[in-house]
Structure 1
Amino acid sequence: MAKVSHLLLLLSVVCIAATAKSAATKSGGATNFIKNSCSATNYPTVCVQSLSPYASKIQQNQRQLVQTALSVSLANAQSTKGFVSKLGRSKGLKAREYAAIKDCLEEIGDTVDRLSQSVQELKLHGQGKGRDFQWHMSNVETWVSAALTDENTCVDGFSGRALDGKIKASVKGRVVNLAQVVSNALALVNRYAKKH
């Protein structure tokens, strides 16, 4: 009886080890897939950092990679919008700072809307091939590209020495990061659209 229980214990350990190795191999494959895909973006390090936490969800699925990149961009845009909104309620803002923040907030609001549309469009129509697929992907590309323009417009609103200071640096830092994440998503969207 003791030999049987030892044998069962040994088999259990072997099965657990094999399962763990298989999971590690899948995770490693997904991480390599993300790294390889991100190498085609303008900001590969930012791309890998933003998408690697979702490796188990992405696996090696190109569509899921693009969907995740858009979702991450949307979450980043929503977070940035909240951050800029909070800055706009700071005491002691100069009139020009307040105006620049207000304009920037409007631009980031547009970014959130456009990225939301892109996420939904890809979710609903991001499979398949042919003209219908290309039309939907063209919509996604247009909206993500417009979202990227919104970030640039926001940063441009803080140009000039009169706005130099902590507010400008804070907004610019957040918006530049958002622009990099959105730029990467756009590169991945374009790549996905061309492959179909």
Structure 2
Amino acid sequence: MAKSSLIWLLLSTLYIASTANSASTTRSSSGAANFIKVSCGATAYPALCVQSLSLYASSINQSPRQLIQTALAVSLDKAQSTKTFVYKLTKFKGVKPRVKAAIKDCFDEIDDTVDRLVTSVKELKKMGSSKGQDYQWHISNVQTWISAALTDENTCVDGFSGKALDGRVKNSIKARFDHVERVTSNALALINKFGY
């Protein structure tokens, strides 16, 4: 009888401990989700910000630095997939010369965007635990490179202006570049919010 009471007590204790641990994890992920939602309120595209960063809530937790790094990584991922897409378009046959030239220009612009975002990610990693003026210098570099990446993204879409360049190619490139521009803009807004 004493043995079964001891087993019952042990199982009850384990159940209570696992329930408490589960509640703690739920509170932690709820806190991370809320942190992301509140932080994304400072961006131009808050719904997209929440949607793209919520997948990484457990690694972001409530760390502003991890939030910024994740936002930049999302932006870089979208830029790289857009670069691959535009590269494939440069290989299409039978495209009008003006459209082909606009696609080539877009490839150059997205290539520059990817380079600037890669440099920004590396700069954030180099920051380590720097503080004060050193920290501000790193943040300033990242802000400059991301702003330049946004300019590159807009330049591509501008290259398709005019009715002669309307069509499926323009629409598909514009949709992808718009998405990259939005996640990049959100990353910059988060850096501006937490960088100072």
User: Which ranges in structure 1 are unaligned for 5 or more consecutive residues?
Assistant: none
Q: Secondary structure at the match of 1:91?
A: coil
Deviations 1:38-74 (A, max 9, x none): 0001110111111111100111011111111111111
What TM-score, normalized to structure 1? 0.95
Q: Is the 8 A contact 1:126 1:136 kept in 2?
A: no
Q: Is the 8 A contact 1:42 1:184 kept in 2?
A: yes
Could you tell me which residue of structure 2 aligns to residue 179 of structure 1?
181
Could you tell me which residue of structure 1 aligns to residue 130 of structure 2?
128
Indicate which of 12, 30, 38 corresponds to 1:10.
12
Could you tell me which residue of structure 1 aligns to residue 69 of structure 2?
67
Shift of 1:4: 1.7
Indicate which of 59, 76, 79 corresponds to 1:77.
79
Shift of 1:126: 5.4
Indicate which of 23, 36, 57 corresponds to 1:21.
23
Could you tell me which residue of structure 2 aligns to residue 119 of structure 1?
121
Output the amino acid matched with 1:59.
N
Q: Does 161-170 or 140-149 show the bigger shift?
A: 161-170
Pairwise CA RMSD: 1.1
Report the count of equivalent residues.
Answer: 194
Output the amino acid matched with 1:66.
I
Structure 1 distance, partners of 2:58, 2:71, is 14
Q: Is the 8 A contact 1:126 1:137 kept in 2?
A: no
Shift of 1:28: 0.5
Could you tell me which residue of structure 2 aligns to residue 141 of structure 1?
143
Deviations 1:149-172 (A, max 9, x none): 010001111111111111111110
Structure 1 distance, partners of 2:47, 2:129, is 28
Deviations 1:52-100 (A, max 9, x none): 1110011101111111111111111101101111122223322122111
- Please identify runs of 4+ aligned residues in structure 1 that moved more than 4 A: none
What TM-score, normalized to structure 2? 0.95
Deviations 1:117-136 (A, max 9, x none): 10010111153322221111
Q: Secondary structure at the match of 1:26?
A: helix
Structure 2 distance, partners of 1:59, 1:37, is 12
Q: Is the 8 A contact 1:107 1:151 kept in 2?
A: yes
Structure 2 distance, partners of 1:154, 1:32, is 35
Deviations 1:20-40 (A, max 9, x none): 111110001001000100000
Structure 1 distance, partners of 2:54, 2:24, is 18
Structure 1 distance, partners of 2:42, 2:168, is 34
Q: Does 1:49 align with 2:51?
A: yes
Q: Does 54-63 or 121-130 show the bigger shift?
A: 121-130
Name the CA shift for 1:126/1:173 in 2 (closer, same or farther; >3 Å): farther
Structure 2 distance, partners of 1:92, 1:102, is 15
